[in-house]
Amino acid sequence: MRSLPLLLAVLIAACRATGSSPAGDTAAVGTAVGTAVGTAVGTDTTAALPDEPTGEVERGREAVVRFQCGRCHEATGLTPAPLTSHCVRCHKKVMTAGFDAKPKASEWKQHVAHLAAMPSLRGAGTRLRYDWLVGYLVLPHDLRPALMQDMPRLAITREEARDVVTYLASLDAPAATARETLEDSDPARGRKLVDDMQCGSCHRMSGVPALAAGTPLGPEAPATYRRSSEELRPAVMLAPDLRFTRDRMTAAQLVQWLADPAAIKSDTLMPNPGLTPSQARDVAAYLLRTPLGPGRARTVPARLPNLERRVGYDEVAREVFDVTCRHCHGKPDDAVGDGGPGNTGGFGFKRRGVNLTSYEEIQGGYLDDKGNRHSLFEPLADGTPRLVATLWARHDEGAGHPNPNLRGMPLGFPPLSAEQIQLVATWVAQGRPRSAP
């Protein structure tokens, strides 16, 4: 099970967040975009997509600041966040010996290895469909198979998402608008090219036979296509599931991208495949037209009955809170006042005051919109304690069924296992004992 590791207090302090304007915690959950968007493939639309109104650039810029997009992503068009506020660059510094003088640097490296890559926003308005980007911000999904974290489900309305995407598009060259029918292109030839180029070295394409992988990444590859092992690892982490290409890109955008990726996104790790225009159209035809089988479905596991044995706080903290929760629900005093987005606020979320660093702090509960304290263990309508319900809600989000009234935890990371949730639920049901006999 993939889970967010505990980042020690000193590391949290090194990566503390900047202040942000508070925002509401109620998002308008849009309809699922998934494969429903852009499935009318074979012909291309222009950049003008009538079903999604255009946002406002300046409001979008303000939203990018409010949602702190620059803490994870580069190329926001704003002053880059300093190292102390940029999660990914801080993690990269840990991995490249930048903090080796610190006493626990070796422990940090074990915890942040999978958190050292994040796609930049450069060229987003040119290479991606406006309507898809809007839908993805409102209802994100698992897009990159090798990247542990997902885009978090923010407290963003569809109007705010339009503003953000309109702002990002204003930073780039105009998107491809020429109509592209892919006439005379051949998906079968495209599949052969995909295998010949060994696209499977980085990409997966769920719903089709596995893509070939390996050869062009070696020394026999053309110079423009070679990748060292150091370069390959982040390239694999950031490579999207090609199943979603037909949702994310028009035919014209895809052909333009395949012709010269770096011309559209200068910091891309995608090599220039050196395709002729005809070959680019064949590959585009395969990615956009080939029939797709089932994708990588996330299913919600069955809820396990409470354990019969006694469960104490120390065990729950060791197996869950200290492994998964403390980075976002931390202790402000240990991190120069920043307790994470789940405690002191951030990424557009209001301060909720949820501190999961100790037995005493957990009993303090959370703050509602009016600043009143409530227990994390209060039962919801179905009788499930709120804390346990948020853990199950993350499974629902992953399966494409978000609860508009409950944000799943851990935010932006894979759900806890049924066994981990069972441990938490048992502890709560037993009255939250400090220790087990």
36-53 pLDDT tens trace: 333 333 334 333 445 789
Residue 59 CB contacts under 8 Å (≥ 6 apart), including other chains: 160, 163, 167
Question: Which domains does the chain possess?
Answer: 9-170 (1.10.760), 187-289 (1.10.760), 313-429 (no CATH)
Residue 70 confidence class, pLDDT cut points 50, 70, 90? very high
Q: What is the pLDDT of residue 41?
A: 33
The pLDDT of residue 152 is 92
- For position 47, what pLDDT does the model report? 38
Could you give the residue ranges of the DSSP H alpha helices within 332-385? 359-362
CA-to-CA distance for 147 and 433, rounded, in angstroms?
Answer: 36
- pLDDT, one tens digit per residue, over 164-195 is 999 999 998 776 667 888 999 999 999 999 99
- Residue 383: band (very low, low, confident or very high) from pLDDT cuts 50, 70, 90: very high
Running DSSP on this structure, what letter comes out for residue 385? B
Q: Is residue 391 a contact partner of residue 367, using CB atoms and an 8 Å limit?
A: no
pLDDT at 3 over 90: no
Is it the case that residue 384 has pLDDT exceeding 50?
yes
**Which residues 6+ apart lie within 8 Å of 40 measured at CB?**
none
- Residue 230: the pLDDT is 60
How confident is the model at residue 227, as a pLDDT?
52
Give the residue from 68, 27, 94 showing the smallest Cα distance to 341: 68
Tell me which range, 6-15, 220-229, 348-357, is most confidently predicted by mean pLDDT: 348-357
Q: What is the DSSP string of 164-194?
A: HHHHHHHTSPPPP-S----TT--HHHHHHHH
What's the distance, CA 328 to chain centroid? 15
- The tokens for 419 are 């066994």
Q: Coil, strand, or helix at residue 379?
A: strand
CA distances from 416 to 81, 89, 185, 349, 382 (A): 31, 26, 45, 22, 20
User: Which of 36-45, 102-111, 388-397 is predicted with the least confidence, judged by mean pLDDT?
Assistant: 36-45
CA-to-CA distance for 137 and 128, rounded, in angstroms? 13
Distances (CA, A) of 84 to 18, 87, 413: 8, 8, 22
Establish how many alpha carbons lie within 13 A of residue 202's alpha carbon, considering only the half-sphere containing its beta carbon.
24
* Secondary structure of residue 403 in the 3-state scheme: strand
In the structure encoding, which two tokens stand for residue 264, read together? 């559209």
pLDDT at 209: 97
